[in-house]
Amino acid sequence: MTRLFGTDGVRGLANRTLTVDLAVRLGAAAAAVLATETGLAPDDAGARPLAVVGRDPRVSGEMLEAALAAGLASQGVDVLLVGEVPTPAVAHLTGRHDAALGAVISASHNAMPDNGIKFFAAGGHKLGDEVEDRIEAALTEGAITGPTGSAIGRISRATPEDALDSYVGHLLSATPARLDGLRVVVDCANGAASVAAPRAYREAGATVIEIHSSPDGYNINDNCGSTHLDDVRAAVREHGADLGLAHDGDADRCLAVDSTGEVVDGDQIMAILALAMRDAGELAGDALVATFMSNLGLKVAMREAGIEVTETKVGDRYVLERLREGGYSLGGEQSGHLVLPAHATTGDGVLTGLRIMARMAETGRSLAELASVMTVLPQILINVPVEDKAAVVASPAVGDAVAAEELRLGATGRVLLRPSGTEHLVRVMVEAEDAELAREVAERLAGVVVAV
């Protein structure tokens, strides 16, 4: 049986695979596990545990928010709806309100018809596999009975100001320098960053030009944001900005663009912030956590700087696990999903943007200069649509093809083939010193995947 939870919660086509019924039952199951099993169930005096629920602006979020809240309340959990806020804001507010759990309704960078539900445990921490397995077991074992009368949970709604004031204040306290004099274009992806990101950057002192910051429920991630950088690149050049920042639909990612319009990806951002944190004495163990997808150039640059790179599987949850296990202070992914555990329990794209600009302000150097610490080796990624990801990856034909191409590349390149955690795709990534060679290898392997 296919596992319901992927690498980032439960995700699918809203009102088809992710239905109202499923959202109600997920809410009830999560409440039963995260409230009851953690000792935060309603007590004898009638006090009820609290869940903080936020969402991104996509149209299906309204219906799924109502369904999820109903499921939570049915288990005696009070629900605080905090509205359209970034995913890291929900994590922050879960901790601030001493809530038993938090939940975000978002499909992140996916297209508008999709949606998702992901949970935070008390303190705003993402769930481990074993907790998700318990929630899934509670979900599939049949009806979940709940309390009656005064023990049923209540649902209330925070004002946007109440939710954002706390979150933005927290971000500003984690920004080590004022940003006065910096001019930034921010692409909000018509998503959850549309209010929070421009406000945080302005209050930190930057001059902000907003694009794609008018969500209408339908335009989230529509040719904009961190997966479509053409508009932010053009806007940076048009306005003579010092940099551009692009977020995804739920604002847990951030990619950057320098003043010439060149993209600065998550690996380069990690290199910039690792050096900044090392210089400030904040980089625990002089190490950072990256995934196997990170560019080889990051390892080379960090080795030359005396910084260790420890690798983990792809997915921010695995980066978080390694950060906690090793007591590290910086980790992230090439996609721009960075985590700074001293200031956030999950990836926070707005915090990342603030820290990039703070480094520019502290050093007086341009983003291009800061990013030049790392030479990006050519890396080709092809996403191949498939019906059965697991079967394709396990195929002997695919394994033999990968081994043959790795032998051909030798020590100057590598191949990584993996299933997407959130979509029906197999990702074929090839890295080599020569871009044309990397493309040829990636295309051959993609052809093998299609043929399986």
By annotation, the residues acting in catalysis are 108
Helix axes 435-451, 396-409, angle to 10 degrees: 170
| Contact (CB, 8 A) for 165 and 158 | no
Maximum alpha-carbon separation in the chain: 69
SS3 of the chain: helix, strand, coil, percent, to 5: 40, 20, 35
Q: Is 248 annotated to bind ligand?
A: yes
CA 172/CA 267 separation, integer angstroms: 24
Helix axes 60-73, 20-31, angle to 10 degrees: 40
To the nearest 10°, report the CA torsion of 31, 37, 41, 44: 150
Distances (CA, A) of 411 to 301, 310, 312, 433: 18, 20, 21, 10
The SS3 of residue 124 is coil
Q: Is 108 annotated to bind ligand?
A: yes
Q: Is 231 annotated to bind ligand?
A: no
Q: Beta strand 331-332 with 338-339: parallel, antiparallel or unpaired?
A: antiparallel
Sign of the CA dihedral running 310, 315, 316, 320? negative
Q: Is 187 annotated to bind ligand?
A: no
CA 303/CA 407 separation, integer angstroms: 25
Binding-site positions for Mg(2+) read 108, 248, 250, 252
Binding-site positions read 108, 248, 250, 252
